[in-house]
Amino acid sequence: SRYRAESGSNGIRMTMESALTARDRVGVQDFVLLENFTSEAAFIENLRKRFKENLIYTYIGSVLVSVNPYKELEIYSKQHMERYRGVSFYEVSPHLYAIADNSYRSLRTERKDQCILISGESGAGKTEATKKILQYYAVTCPASDQVEMVKDRLLQSNPVLEAFGNAKTLRNDNSSRFGKYMDVQFDYRGAPVGGHILNYLLEKSRVVHQNHGERNFHIFYQLLDGGEEELLRRLGLEKNPQQYPYLVKGHCARVSSINDKNDWKVVRKALSIINFNDNDVEDLLSIVASVLHLGNVQFAADEQGNAQVTTENQIKYLARLLGVEGSILREALIHKKIIAKGEELVSPLNLEQAAYARDALAKAVYGRTFSWLVNKINKSLSYKETEFPGWRSTTVLGLLDIYGFEVFQHNSFEQFCINYCNEKLQQLFIELTLKSEQEEYESEGIAWEPVQYFDNKIICDLVEEKFKGIISILDEECLRPGDATDMTFLEKLEETVKNHPHFLTHKLADQKTRKSLGREEFRLLHYAGEVTYSVSGFLDKNNDLLFRNLKETMCNSENPIVNQCFERTELTDKKRPETAATQFKNSLSKLMEILMSKEPSYIRCIKPNDSKQAGKFVEVLIRHQVKYLGLMENLRVRRAGFAYRRKYEVFLQRYKSLCPETWPVWDGRPHDGVAVLVKYLGYKQEEYKMGRTKIFIRFPKTLFATEDALEIRKQSLATKIQAAWRGFHQRQKFQHMKHSAITIQSWWRGTLGRRKAAKKKWAVETIRRFIKGFIYRNYPRCAENEYFLDYIRYSFLMSLKRNLPRNVLDKSWPTPPPSLCEASQLLRQLCMQNMVWRYCKRINPEWKQQLDQKVIASEIFKDKKDNYPQSVPRLFLDTRLDINAKVLQALGSETIKYAVPVIKYDRKGYKARARQLLLTQTAVFIVEEAKIKQRIDYANLTGISVSSLSDNLFVLHVHCEDNKQKGDVVLQSDHAIETLTKMAMSADKVDNVNINQGSIKFTVGQGKEGIIDFTSGSELLIAKAKNGHLTVVSGPSGFPPHLCSPSSHLQAQDCSVSCVTALSSWIQNSYITFIGSI
Ligand SMILES: Nc1ncnc2c1ncn2[C@@H]1O[C@H](COP(=O)(O)OP(=O)(O)O)[C@@H](O)[C@H]1O
Ligand SMILES: [Mg+2]
C-alpha cells in the first residue's frame, strides 16, 4: 500500500488508514495506535521498523517524530508538496508537510497565530526541517511579484545566518550555534509578506577556541577559500587558514564534506538578495577579517611583567579595518580602565590578562556583529503595514529551531543555558499538550480524566527563581566585590539549594554517587536525565566582560557596523549591564510568551547515530533521545483517554460498508450513522465514547479489528464491483465494436458498389465507342471513329514497342493499320539504320578487311558458282601454309600476301601434282617445296576461269607472248573461292573472272588449246577423258568431307562461331552493298 501511495492522490487517501493493515511491516504511523503504549521497547521497535523502510516520520497524535535519514529521500519534491496541500491531516502518511499545511490552514481558517516547535539534539535535523517547511510555504502559498521577493529573502536569509552562526562540530557538520525563532507573516490572502527573526545565545566562545575536530564559524573559512584575490588583499588576509590561530584550534580547517568555496558563492549571492550593497558587504567582511587579525595579535612581557604588543603589523590592519586609531587600540589592548568613585584608573595588563582582553574583544565584535546581521535581515524582511496602521492585517507563523538537550563529557555554562532552555520548552509542551487534550475533551463533551505526568516546573524554578535560583546566585557572585571565583560560586550554590531534590554536588552526594562527581562540578536532574556541569568559566562567561577602554575604542570606530554595535550610551550608563545568564533568561521568558500566544505544533527530531551514516539505527542513542525528548511522556498524555478519534463524517465514510444500514449511503446525521455502525460492529460500552463531532475509541485493537473487517469487506466488495464493472465494460466494448464493424462494412460495401458501377459504365461506354469506331473506321477522322483510330494506333505502337526486330536479319514487323503505313515505314527504316549503325560501331579493322574480301567474293561468285554459298560462313585466312625459307629467300623483296596448297594439273596428261600457290603484291607464284616453279606477273595474268559448278578447279590465263610462260595453268584449291577472291583483288582482276557453263577453253602452250568439261555428279572426279579433255565431275555442292567438320576449319581462328554465322547470313543478304560502302 505504501507504494500505491506514491501513485496519485487517490492512492494517498488510502495510505494513512490502509497502513493500519500493513502495520506489522511498517509499524504504526501513529504511536497512539501502539497496543503496548507504555513500553519503550515497543516504541523504539516501531521507530526501527519504519526507519528501515525509509519511513522517517511518525506521529504521536499531532506531534511529528522525525528520524534523521542522513541521506536524500525522494519525499520533498513539488509533487509531494502538492499532495499534502489542503488534505486532511490523517488522510496522508506522516510528513513535515502535513504539519506545515495543517498549521497554515489553521492560520488561514481560524486567523490564529501558529508556531512550529522543532527540537532535538544537535544533528537531529532541526535546521533541515525548518528549511523544508519554509520551502513548502514558498512553493505552495499564493504568490505575487512582491511576495516572490519576500519568499526569496526568507529563503536567502538562511545561508547568510548559517555562514555566521553555524559551524562544524563533532555532532553535525553544519551545527547551528545559536537559537533561532523565525516569524513568517501572512497577509489576508495567505501569502507570505514579511518575516522576523529572533536569535538566542550565539556560542561566542567558538570565535576564539574550538574543541578538537570542530571548526570556527563557517564564514571565516568561506572568505579565505572563496574570496577573490583582490578582496583578500584589501582585507590583508592570506588564503591559508593555518595562518590564523583562531581557525585551527580544532585542527580541522578543511573538511571533505564542506565546500567552502561553493558556500561562499551562495552566501555572496544571498547577501545581495537580502539588500546588502557593496559597502555593507565590505564593512561586514572587514569585521570578519579583523577578528582573524585580532587572533594574530601577540604580546610579550616587559621588565615589569606588563604586556606589550609585539605584532605591530596586525595593529595596522586592525586600525584600518575597524576604522580606529592604531595607537589607541594598541594601548587599549594592554591596559584596563576602571572607573572607581568617579575617577578613571588605568592599569597595565599582564600577559594572561592581555590575551583575555584580546579574546574578549574578538568575541564581542563578532557576537555583536551577528546580532546586527539579524537586525539587518529583519529590516529587509519587515512588512510595511501602511494601509491600516494599528489594525493587524497579518497572521504569524513562527518556526523555532533551537538547540536540543546537550550532554557532553564536559558540560559548561553553554550547556547549562541550553538545557535550561529545553527544560522551559518541555514545560510549555506539557502544558500546551495537556491543555489542548483537555480542551478537546471539553468541546466534545467527554469527561476529562486526570493524567499523571511529571511536571518539570520544579527544575525550571531551581534554575530561574529569584534570589534562590542558580542564575540569581551566579549573578550575585559576579557582582559582589571581593575575590569571587567559580569555586566560591559552587559553594554558594551548595549553601542555597542543598536540599533541592534535583541538585547534587560532590559534597552533597552520598558515598556511592560522590565518585562520579568532581569537586568543581554540580549535577542537575533534568526531566530528561541527569547532567553534570563543571563550574569553571561560569563567572567569566556570565560576566562576558569587555574592558571599558576597548569598548570606548570600538565606540569611536569608523566602520559603520562596529559603530552601530557599540553604542555610546553603554559607556555613560551607570547601571551594570545584564549578565549573559540573565539576558538569556529574559529572552527565554519572552519567547515563552510569544509561543504561549500561538497555537503550537511540534516536530521532534531524533538522530539515529553519531557517525552521520545512512541506515544505521543505534538503539542506545535513540533510547536516550526518546527519553530526553519526553516522547513516552507525550504518548502517555495523548493516550491517557482514547487512542483514536475521528470526525463522524470521516469515520462513517470509511467504514460504512461494514453495516447494511449505512451502506451504500446513510441518509441521516453522521452522528447517528456512526452510532448504528458501531452497534452493528458490536463495540462494547467501555471501548468508545461518542463526542459532539467525533467518535473516541479507547483501544487500538478495537480500531484494528474494524480495519481488518474493512479489509475483508473490501475484498468481496471489490470482487463484486470488479465483476459488475467488467461485465459493463465488456458489454460496452462489444457494442462499440459491433457498431464500428457495421459502419465500416456498410461504408466499404458502398465504396465497392460504386467502384463496380463506375467500371461497368466505363466499359459499356468504351465498347460502344469501339463498335462505332469500327463501323466508321474507313471514314476520315471524325468524332465517331476518333476513339477507335486512336486505339488502333496506340495498340499498333505498343505492339511495335514490344516486338521490335532484335537484329538486322530479323525481318518481322507488325502490320500497321492503314493510317500508320507511312509512319511504320519510316520507323522501320529508322530501326534498321539504328541497328546497322550499332553493328557498324562494333566493327574493327580486321573484320572490315574480312568483310571487304567477302563483298568482293560475293560480287564475283554470288549466284554464279554452286559452291560459293558454302564458302560464305568460312572466314578468309591470311595464309594457309608455312613457307620454306629458301622460297622466302628467292622471293627477295616480294612480300607474301597469301599462300595456299593447290594441285596443279599439268598440260600433258593432266597429272595432278601437289604445289603451293603464293600471292605477292606483284605476282602469283607456283612453288614446289623449296623451289619456285613458276612466276606469273599480274600483268601477264589475263583472266581466271572457273566453272559454275561446285568443283574447285580454276584456270589462270597467262599472256601467251611471254616466252617464259608455258601456257595457262590449271589448278585446284580446296579453298577456291578464297584463293580466287584474294588473287582477283591482289591482281586487280575482279572483272576478269569468268564463270563458265559446261567447259573452259585454255591455252596449253605454243598455240595449243585444252578443254575442261564440267559435269555435275554424285562424286568429285577429275580425270583425262578419252577425247583428251579434262573431265571434271563436280561432287555434291559442298566442301570435301575432310573440310566439313567445323573444328578443323575454325581451329586456331580467333573468331567466334556466332560471328561467322551472323556474317554468313548477312552476306547472303543485300546488306552487303551497304557494308561495302562504309
Ligand atoms: N530530512 C533530512 N533528509 C536528509 N538529510 C537530513 C535530513 N535532516 C537532516 N539531515 C542531515 O543531517 C544533517 C544535520 O541536520 P541539521 O538540520 O543541521 O541538524 P540540527 O539543526 O538538528 O543540528 C544535515 O546536514 C543533513 O545532512
Ligand atoms: Mg541546526
DSSP string for residues in 1013-1038: EEEE-SS-EEEE-TTSPEEEEE-SSS
Confidence of residue 5 (pLDDT cuts 50, 70, 90): very low
CA distances from 285 to 159, 168, 278, 288, 422 (A): 16, 20, 11, 5, 34
Confidence of residue 391 (pLDDT cuts 50, 70, 90): low
- Pick the more confident residue, 498 or 449: 498
CB-based contact 608:67 (threshold 8 Å): yes
DSSP E strands: which ranges in 688-812? Answer: 688-690, 694-697
With H, G, I as helix, E, B as strand and everything else as coil, classify residue 506: coil
C-alpha to C-alpha distance for 621 and 618, rounded to whole angstroms? 6
DSSP E strands: which ranges in 251-374? Answer: 299-301, 307-309, 335-340, 343-348
* pLDDT tens readout for residues 374-385: 999 999 999 876
Confidence of residue 963 (pLDDT cuts 50, 70, 90): low
* pLDDT tens readout for residues 769-793: 889 988 988 888 888 888 888 888 8
Q: Indicate which residue of 175, 286, 394, 940 is catalytic.
A: 175
pLDDT score at 285: 96
Question: Is pLDDT of 1039 > 60?
Answer: no
Who lines ligand 1 at CB under 6 A? 68-70, 72-73, 120, 122-128, 172, 174-176, 605
179 φ/ψ angles, rounded to the nearest 5 degrees: -90, 145
Ligand 1 mean position to 244 CA, how many Å? 29
Q: Indicate which residue of 61, 123, 165, 227 is catalytic.
A: 123
Question: Is pLDDT of 1044 > 50?
Answer: no
Across residues 435-450, what is the average pLDDT? Answer: 83
250 known member of a binding site: no
- Pick the more confident residue, 459 or 698: 459
Residue 379's identity, in one-letter code, is: K
Confidence of residue 1028 (pLDDT cuts 50, 70, 90): confident
* pLDDT tens readout for residues 458-504: 999 999 999 889 999 999 999 888 888 999 999 999 999 988 999 99
Kindly give the number of the ligand 1 atom that is closest to the alpha carbon of 404.
22
* pLDDT tens readout for residues 283-333: 999 999 999 999 999 999 999 999 999 999 999 999 999 999 999 999 999
Question: Is pLDDT of 710 > 90?
Answer: no
* pLDDT tens readout for residues 512-527: 889 899 999 999 999 8
Question: Is pLDDT of 635 > 90?
Answer: no
Question: Is pLDDT of 678 > 60?
Answer: yes
Residue of 876, 869, 864 whose CA lies nearest to 1037: 869
CB-based contact 689:696 (threshold 8 Å): yes
Return the DSSP state at 57: E
Beta-bridged to residue 689, according to DSSP, are 696
Pocket test for ligand 1, best of 56, 67, 73, 128 (most atoms within 8 A of CB): 128
pLDDT score at 1054: 36
For 413-535, give the CATH class. Answer: mainly alpha
857-992: CATH number? 2.30.29.30
C-alpha to C-alpha distance for 924 and 914, rounded to whole angstroms? 16
Residue of 526, 279, 294 whose CA lies nearest to 418: 526
Q: Indicate which residue of 103, 169, 172, 286 is catalytic.
A: 172
Domain boundaries defined on the chain = 413-535, 649-761, 785-841, 857-992
CA distances from 562 to 267, 290, 547, 567, 651 (A): 21, 11, 16, 9, 62
Q: Indicate which residue of 194, 404, 673, 1010 is catalytic.
A: 404
**Residue with CA at minimum distance from ligand 1 atom 11:** 70
Active site residue 1005: no
Question: Is pLDDT of 911 > 80?
Answer: yes
**Residue with CA at minimum distance from ligand 1 atom 16:** 125
Across residues 665-673, what is the average pLDDT? Answer: 91
C-alpha to C-alpha distance for 771 and 768, rounded to whole angstroms? 5
pLDDT score at 1066: 52
DSSP letters along 940-993, please?
GEEEEEEESSS--EEEEEE-TT-TT--S-EEEE-TTHHHHHHHHHHHTT-GGGE
697 φ/ψ angles, rounded to the nearest 5 degrees: -115, 130
Active site residue 394: no
Pocket test for ligand 1, best of 50, 67, 68 (most atoms within 8 A of CB): 68
Least confident of 451-455, 588-592, 801-805, 938-942: 451-455
Ligand 1 mean position to 122 CA, how many Å? 9
* pLDDT tens readout for residues 525-570: 998 788 999 999 999 999 888 888 999 999 999 999 999 999 888 8
649-761: CATH number? 3.30.70.1590
C-alpha to C-alpha distance for 291 and 314, rounded to whole angstroms? 11
* pLDDT tens readout for residues 712-761: 888 888 888 888 888 898 999 999 999 999 999 999 999 999 999 999 99
Question: Is pLDDT of 267 > 90?
Answer: yes
C-alpha to C-alpha distance for 507 and 493, rounded to whole angstroms? 11
Kindly give the number of the ligand 1 atom that is closest to the alpha carbon of 121.
22
- Helix, strand and coil content of the chain, in percent to the nearest 5, comes to 50, 15, 35
pLDDT score at 1052: 32
Query: Quick one: how far is CA 183 from the chain centroid?
Result: 40
**Residue with CA at minimum distance from ligand 1 atom 20:** 123
Kindly give the number of the ligand 1 atom that is closest to the alpha carbon of 166.
18
**Residue with CA at minimum distance from ligand 1 atom 27:** 70
Residue that has been written with the C-alpha cell 476518333 in this structure: 786
Ligand 1 mean position to 254 CA, how many Å? 20
DSSP E strands: which ranges in 589-664? Answer: 599-606, 644-647
Pocket test for ligand 1, best of 55, 70, 175 (most atoms within 8 A of CB): 70
CB-based contact 953:971 (threshold 8 Å): yes
pLDDT score at 553: 93
What is the chain's mean pLDDT, rounded? 86
Ligand 2 mean position to 175 CA, how many Å? 5
pLDDT score at 1021: 82
Question: Is pLDDT of 908 > 80?
Answer: no
**Residue with CA at minimum distance from ligand 1 atom 8:** 125
With H, G, I as helix, E, B as strand and everything else as coil, classify residue 257: coil
Confidence of residue 917 (pLDDT cuts 50, 70, 90): very high
Confidence of residue 386 (pLDDT cuts 50, 70, 90): low
pLDDT score at 1070: 41
Q: Which residues are in the CB-under-5-Å shell of ion ligand 2?
A: 127, 176
